[in-house]
Amino acid sequence: MCFSESVSFAAAGVLVAGGAFASWKAWKINKRYLPIAFMPVMAGIQQFMEGHVWMGLNVSDPNMVWWGAMGFIFFSWFMWPVWIPFGTYMLEPPESRRKKIFLYFALAGTALGLILYVPHLLNPDWVSVSVNENSLAYEGTEVVLENRTGC
């Protein structure tokens, strides 16, 4: 939803409301569906963070841009790689042989998320956000290793 500040905040509201309703239904029907039903709420929070990136860019507030960007990429780099396999793990019946595999994927997502997210949390200057053709570009957010051999 990286079209504008207002679109991000509107999407956040719709997603949080829909996710709250889905979570309420899952709670009443089958609690194993809760992690999946809660996903729109988390997507809404992610869009809310992206709305703050837009807001920070619109008022030239680099602190707001950084906090919004770190909130947004928390979900894309950490939360989703953990939550999606965890939600699938919860959906699997207890006797399923595949259930353990999804738990391993959730653990792998945790490791991957920490490897990606923590260095950027510790090095704020690695995060750069700009507007590119009416959408946000999270540039410079990957770890680049220098060639130190002089070649």
At 137 the pLDDT is: 83
Residues 6+ apart with CB under 8 A from 98: 92
Question: How far apart are alpha carbons 149 and 38 in whole angstroms?
Answer: 49
At 145 the pLDDT is: 43
At 148 the pLDDT is: 42
Q: HSE on the CB side for 60, CA within 13 Å?
A: 0
pLDDT means over runs of 10, the chain (151 residues): 84 97 97 96 96 94 94 93 96 91 95 92 88 80 46 42
Q: Assess contact for 53 and 68: CB atoms under 8 A.
A: yes
Taking 3-state DSSP, the helix, strand and coil percentages for the chain, each rounded to the nearest 5, stand at: 70, 5, 20
At 138 the pLDDT is: 81
At 140 the pLDDT is: 62
Mapped onto helix, strand or coil, the DSSP state of residue 150 is coil
pTM recorded for the entire structure: 0.85
At 26 the pLDDT is: 97
Residue spans per domain, the chain: 5-139
At 151 the pLDDT is: 42
Beta bridge partners of residue 132, listed in sequence order = 135
Question: How far apart are alpha carbons 144 and 1 in whole angstroms?
Answer: 27
Residues 6+ apart with CB under 8 A from 112: 77, 81
Structure tokens at 33: 């569906």
Beta bridge partners of residue 135, listed in sequence order = 132
